[in-house]
Amino acid sequence: MKLKKTIVALIIGSFLAAGLAFAAEGKKEAKVAGCCAKASKDGKACGHECCVTAAKAGKNCEKCGGSGALAKKAEAKK
């Protein structure tokens, strides 16, 4: 009986740990890759193929050091 309770406790603990890991992953802070930030500062878009592909997907390029989703640009009022 004691073994059964221990196994149940281990299973519940593993589910809780997996849930916490999943929740922490969703709260990643968005970070712009260095090459993209430099190009943006110059008023251009980054020309790296990996950055262009990531931008089309709505993300920052992880290969170049970015993370998370792209920041939404404010639309100009007409």
Q: Domain coordinates of the chain in residue numbers?
A: 2-56
**pLDDT attached to residue 24:** 62
Rounded Cα gap, residues 75 and 65, in angstroms: 27
Q: Are 55 and 70 in contact (CB under 8 A)?
A: yes
Q: What is the pLDDT of residues 9-19, one digit of tens each?
A: 999 988 888 88
| Confidence band for 3, pLDDT divided at 50, 70 and 90 | very high
Q: Please state whether the predicted TM-score (pTM) of the whole model is above 0.85.
A: no
Instruction: Give residue 76's region: left, alpha or beta (phi > 0; psi -120 to 50).
Output: beta
**pLDDT attached to residue 25:** 60
Q: What is the pLDDT of residues 26-54, one digit of tens each?
A: 556 778 888 988 988 988 888 899 999 98
**pLDDT attached to residue 73:** 59
